[in-house]
Structure 1
Amino acid sequence: MFVFKEDALNGRHILVTGATGGIGYETAKAAVRSGAAVTITGRNEEKLEELRQACQEISSDAKVFVQKADLTSEEDRAKLVEAAVEANGTIDGLVNSAGIGGGGPVKDLSEEDLRKIMELNYTATVLLTQLVYENMREADSGAVVNLSSLSGLRGTKGNSAYSASKFAVTGFTQAFAHEAIEENIRVNAVCPGFVDTSMGLNAIRKKGEREGRSFEEQMKVVEEGIPSGRITKAEEVANTIVFLLSAAAENVVGESVKISGGSVMR
């Protein structure tokens, strides 16, 4: 029986999308700490280079491959997977961290906003996973971790577009898990609540604006509603993702792991 350890991903190749965002950024670093070779992707080349350097500071011999990509582009998705395999070999783990927030009350939603949120948060995730799945099937092993949200488990006021996209990710995770496990590939999701990232803090700010509160006032309301008394750190989400990628989670299949500080207990 495997136990979780510091080199839990030793010899593995992990592809992290949305690596320029807070959770993807910390996940790439956590994977390197756990011994993995990583491919990192996003749309901000400067931020990707910053992350590459941060990973090499963790381990001077870290294998970090950088590939800029727009995941809504079929051509970019294909180039990403091809280049990642050429650089670091078979993809053993995929972390679908790319995503955007946004939306608002239904009365204010535009068709453009709806399409943009669904296209990146859900459609691009599924289409990239298809490509990586083919690579994993050849190896008859692998792990996929999708970034969903507490908003993918229950709806909240003024959050319909984002929530719908994350419900889609949760549903995809569960359905695909049935198919993939037949080929020894595990699929799971993490569902954090508010996270201390630019995207998470912006969501708190916008919620405060809708409720007529300052950012500080809204943060106090949010944290008072969490049993642990605080929002989640990006590193905590990253550590959970690394666990799900590792052999220590070998019979964890189709789960949506909540990281809520106790705010959602079901």
Structure 2
Amino acid sequence: MKVFAKDALENKHILVTGATGGIGNETAKVLAGMGAKLTITGRNMEKLNQLKVELYEITDENNICAEKADLNKEEDRGKLIKTAEEKLGFISGLVNIAGISGGSTVEKLKEEDMKKIMEVNYFATFSLTQAIYQKMIKREQGSIVNVSSLSGLRGTHGNSAYAASKFAMTGWTQSMAVEAIQHNIRVNAVCPGYVNTEMARNGFEKKAENKNISYEEAKKESLGTIPSGRLTEPVEVANSIAFLLTDAAKNIVGESLKISGGNVMR
């Protein structure tokens, strides 16, 4: 099959969380261009509406459902799934992108900050996935892609809270994949390094502040650790997600695809 053909995801209904962020925005556009029906969700309705308008230029408006939701809330998760199914039918694909960064070194890390990051990045994502997965089992079909991080594969200075949440996601992806494939459901993760998004820019600002250097110096120092010498663009992550959702990736199960410009090779 042609992986990025206009009909590669035809008749698939895919739910994309965190659709208002850089990676989520590009992922929605790539999937729409491959023929998927899409439910997009986030906490900012203004940004969701803007994305919806952009998606109308790619696909028919009847293929798009936009629903504001706070995934930490059980009520919102239930409403999101109900609304999506009523408009576009069975959810055959799920892309978990919603997440936050933050934290500090261990001696300064506040318990409430640790809990917040774990709640958003892991527990809320797990709960939404569990609800949709139970429906996928009944159909014996589905594909789930979790957006983890290189921080879900190795630890870095001052990153305990975020890394813990992403390690949890990576481990959960692998364990769930072993169970899910018995029901013809594939579960995988992508693990980007520095991506050209607001989250990366915030990271450079934090590094600059901690080391008392300029933003540009902090960015240059970080890029110096990447063999390719550049940030990953959001669309590159989106393309990787899209590939994992297609039938071209039928035997890719429980993998954590690194998108790091060579920053991590093991």
TM-score above 0.5, yes or no: yes
Equivalent position of 1:85 in the other structure: 85
> Counterparts of 1:261 and 1:21 in 2: how far apart (Å)?
21
Equivalent position of 1:259 in the other structure: 259
Q: CA deviation at 1:59?
A: 2.7
Amino acid at match of 1:208: A
Task: Determine whether 1:4 maps to 2:35.
Answer: no
1:45-71 deviation per Cα after TM superposition (whole angstroms, max 9, x unaligned): 000001101111123456110111000
Equivalent position of 2:179 in the other structure: 179
1:168-193 deviation per Cα after TM superposition (whole angstroms, max 9, x unaligned): 00000000001100000000000000
Task: Determine whether 1:143 maps to 2:143.
Answer: yes
Equivalent position of 1:98 in the other structure: 98
Map 1:51-200; keep pairs closer than 5 Å. 51-61=51-61, 63-200=63-200
> Counterparts of 2:4 and 2:46 in 1: how far apart (Å)?
32
1:53-101 deviation per Cα after TM superposition (whole angstroms, max 9, x unaligned): 1111123456110111000001111111111111111111100000000
> Counterparts of 2:33 and 2:88 in 1: how far apart (Å)?
17
Amino acid at match of 1:193: G
Amino acid at match of 1:93: G
Aligned residues: 265
1:145-201 deviation per Cα after TM superposition (whole angstroms, max 9, x unaligned): 001000000000010000000000000000000110000000000000011011121
Q: CA deviation at 1:3?
A: 4.5
Map 1:25-36; keep pairs closer than 5 Å. 25-36=25-36
Q: CA deviation at 1:104?
A: 1.3
> Counterparts of 2:54 and 2:62 in 1: how far apart (Å)?
10
TM-score by length of 1: 0.97
Q: CA deviation at 1:229?
A: 0.9
Structure 2 gap ranges (5+): none
Amino acid at match of 1:160: S
Amino acid at match of 2:186: R
Structure 1 gap ranges (5+): none
Q: Tell me the secondary structure at the aligned position of residue 107 of structure 1.
A: coil
Equivalent position of 2:213 in the other structure: 213
> Counterparts of 1:249 and 1:123 in 2: how far apart (Å)?
27
1:204-231 deviation per Cα after TM superposition (whole angstroms, max 9, x unaligned): 2112211222111111111121111101
Q: For structure 1, which segment, 4-13 or 93-102, has the greater mean C-alpha deviation from structure 2 after superposition? A: 4-13
Q: For structure 1, which segment, 202-211 or 252-261, has the greater mean C-alpha deviation from structure 2 after superposition? A: 202-211
> Counterparts of 2:186 and 2:212 in 1: how far apart (Å)?
44
Equivalent position of 1:16 in the other structure: 16
> Counterparts of 1:209 and 1:10 in 2: how far apart (Å)?
47
Equivalent position of 2:236 in the other structure: 236
Amino acid at match of 1:264: V
Q: Tell me the secondary structure at the aligned position of residue 187 of structure 1.
A: strand
> Counterparts of 1:22 and 1:67 in 2: how far apart (Å)?
18
Q: Tell me the secondary structure at the aligned position of residue 191 of structure 2.
A: strand
> Counterparts of 2:226 and 2:92 in 1: how far apart (Å)?
35
Give me the CA root mean square deviation. Answer: 1.0
Taking only the aligned residue pairs, the percentage that are identical comes to: 58
